[in-house]
Amino acid sequence: MGFQVYTSREVETDEMNFQMLNFPPHHPAREMQDSFYVEAEGREDNPILMRTHTSPGQIRAMREASAINPQNPPPIRIALPGMCYRYEQITARSEIQFNQVEGLAVGEGITFADLKGTLTDFARRMFGQDARVRFRASYFPFTEPSAEVDVECFVCGGKGCQVCKNSGWLEILGCGMVHPNVLQNGGYDPKRYTGFAFGMGPERQLMLRNKINDIRYFWGNNVRFLEQF
């Protein structure tokens, strides 16, 4: 689909990890992503932290591209993979470190229809050509409108089972149209350019697909687990 891999740093500033992505200081959405701070003293307005998502790479990629030609920045189509870190209680469902893969497309005339087409095609390649997909309205600070994408449960075929908690659907990713403030912060004029972004967790997808019931296995270094893949 023409997405090029873009790798970005794991240690970030608060400005890149939050502020440029439309999380102002003290914004309640920050509580969705409790952070590991590396250095805060003396940097109260811009502490250094372990990135909580791969999204700061969106700003870095847009700035690199728009710096080349500020009047006429080129279109972007990238995939951003990498490790992310959150200060959370470790449970069977959540880890303090995990991978994310994020996608970003920016250009003239990109619409929500492009987002739906791209993600529906992705879901079918990942979960089978017959996979049914649905989009649910959601909220993220850096996209507007935002949505979460579910795929029909491939364990029970949508009838309802333990894996899908009897809903018939499994949540696979979050997405939305890039917020105008985020485009602006990347050097793209939001009156002229639009874009979409999506993000997903490979560990969670693998857990769904291979019926792995505890995320801690990925870091347990048990060869009997790892050798299966």
In whole angstroms, how close is the CB of 159 to Zn ion at the nearest point?
Answer: 7
Residues with Cβ within 8 Å of 148's Cβ and at least 6 positions away in sequence, in order, are 135, 136, 138, 171, 173, 174, 175
> x/- string (CB under 5 A) for Zn ion, residues 73-112?
----------------------------------------
- Residue 131 touches Zn ion, criterion: CB under 5 A: no
Return the SS3 of 53: coil
Instruction: Report the half-sphere exposure of 107 (CA within 13 A, side-chain side).
Output: 13
From CA 138, how far away is CA 156, in angstroms rounded?
Answer: 25
- Residue 200 touches Zn ion, criterion: CB under 5 A: no
**CB nearer to Zn ion: pick between 7 and 162:** 162
From CA 116, how far away is CA 196, in angstroms rounded?
Answer: 10
- Could you say which residues in the range 157-196 bind Zn ion, by CB under 5 A? 161, 163-164
In whole angstroms, how close is the CB of 154 to Zn ion at the nearest point?
Answer: 8
> 28, 149 in Cβ contact below 8 A?
no
- Residue 32 touches Zn ion, criterion: CB under 5 A: no
In whole angstroms, how close is the CB of 215 to Zn ion at the nearest point?
Answer: 19
Closest CA to 105 of 80, 68, 139, 130: 80
- Residue 29 touches Zn ion, criterion: CB under 5 A: no
In whole angstroms, how close is the CB of 100 to Zn ion at the nearest point?
Answer: 25
> x/- string (CB under 5 A) for Zn ion, residues 141-160?
------------x-xx----
DSSP states of 74-102 as a string? PPEEEEEEEEEE------SS--SEEEEEE
Interface with Zn ion: number of residues (CB under 5 A):
6
Which residues of this protein are in contact with Zn ion, per CB under 5 A? Answer: 153, 155-156, 161, 163-164
